[in-house]
Amino acid sequence: MRFHQANAPLAEQAGSLTHSPIGSGCEEQAFRDGSSPVQAFELSTLDFERPAQFAVWRDSFAPMLELTGTDNARETFRGQQTLWDLGNLLFAQISTDALGFTSLPGHVRREPLDHWTITLLKSGRIRTDCARRTFSAGPGEVQIHALGRSYAGDVSTSEMLMLFVPRDFSHETSVALSSAELSKLDTGMGHLFSDYLVGLANRLPMLTKAEIPGLITATHAMVLACVSPSADNIAAADEPISTVLLEKARQFVQKRLFDPDLASEAVRRELGISRTRLYNLFEPFGGVMHYIQHRRLLGAHSSLTNPDDQRLILEIAEKHGFSDGAEFSRAFKRAFGYSPSDARRGGKGRLPCPQDRRRHDCPAVGRLGVLLRQLQG
């Protein structure tokens, strides 16, 4: 996690504090049936000195949003974050003091995350401004955002639940959420989904890891059943077309990820669109080649942190399209903040593969970013 330079002393204080999972805090502890509990992690700004509190909260959300709040460093800023790592999904319970938020294309380019976020407000109000409309939500209402889009807004002192759904979770889910992005679910089925999220938050502390697959299946079914489009959710015809094209592009890139000849022109031909349209489509990701490189780096990271993969770092780099070891090392460090050698040694900042769910070595302030980047892979 990178911090703003002006707040470096505060950031150092924040980054040094690590939290264990909520409850027993022990990976090996099992429930009576022998299954391990679902891991959960928390971050509270009240664990830090008052001048650092808002900086801690802002830096925790930096991979997905730019937060703005009080200018008075002497004021207490209350923020509480609980995260449940569900493998294919990420669930968060958040309470926060009032603040503003912005999702900027430039920010997205630095952290190329494009998950869906389904947010249920339990208390307070949230307002979102996007290119074509402004919408707000109150208690019991659900909003849908895509991290790759540009929007801004503000939230009052609030409590909320957030479900993060990766783009490649399922084609059906992506189509359903595309039809309702940057809007709220103001239907009977939308309210039913609110009840589901509340029930999920109440049940998660009692779930075991063995129950996660069933939970994922149920959540998938609920998204498809409850996310229904409305007239306000339907934007210009270009938006759903772009969504279809992006999904097709993602699938094409993933299939040919190890092809050294994979480039912008190959993607353009596959989609059958102009160069201008291709540029506009991938502008939020920093361009087609930036997107392809990031997917390759995620694949290389997975190999480097896999204890069963004993290939040389240069072999892994070449497999993922990097012919120059120095270039690979620089790109890897820009993406993850540490070197390929550090990743292989399992140093700090490690992004474990799905079979390795330990988070004890991850600073609390950076944990949300770690889990969001894991979903991206």
Task: Show the tokens assigned to 327.
Answer: 């270039």
The 10s digit of each residue's pLDDT in 61-70 is 888 888 987 6
Q: What is the CATH number assigned to the segment(s) 238-304+306-345?
A: 1.10.10.60
CATH of 61-72+91-229, one of 1.20.1440, 2.60.120, 2.40.10, 3.40.1350: 2.60.120
SS3 of 157-174: the string is CEEEEEEEECCCCCHHHH
The 10s digit of each residue's pLDDT in 263-301 is 889 988 888 878 888 888 888 778 888 888 888 888 888
Distance CA 63, CA 373 (A): 9
| Ranges of H-type helices in the chain | 8-15, 53-60, 105-110, 171-178, 188-203, 212-226, 238-255, 264-271, 275-282, 288-304, 313-319, 325-336, 340-345, 367-376
Average pLDDT score over the chain: 75
Q: Which residue has the tokens 């004021």?
A: 75
Helix (H) or strand (E) holding 219: helix 212-226
Distance CA 16, CA 198 (A): 33
The per-residue DSSP string of 339-359 comes to -HHHHHHT-TT----TT----
Domain boundaries, the chain: 61-72+91-229, 238-304+306-345
Task: Show the tokens assigned to 101.
Answer: 């938020």
Q: Which residue type does 18 have?
A: T
Mean pLDDT per 10-residue section of the chain, whose length is 377 residues: 32 33 39 68 91 90 82 78 90 94 60 78 90 82 83 92 87 79 75 82 87 84 68 35 67 84 88 84 83 86 85 87 85 84 66 40 72 71
The 10s digit of each residue's pLDDT in 148-198 is 777 889 999 999 999 999 887 877 787 888 777 777 787 766 777 888 888
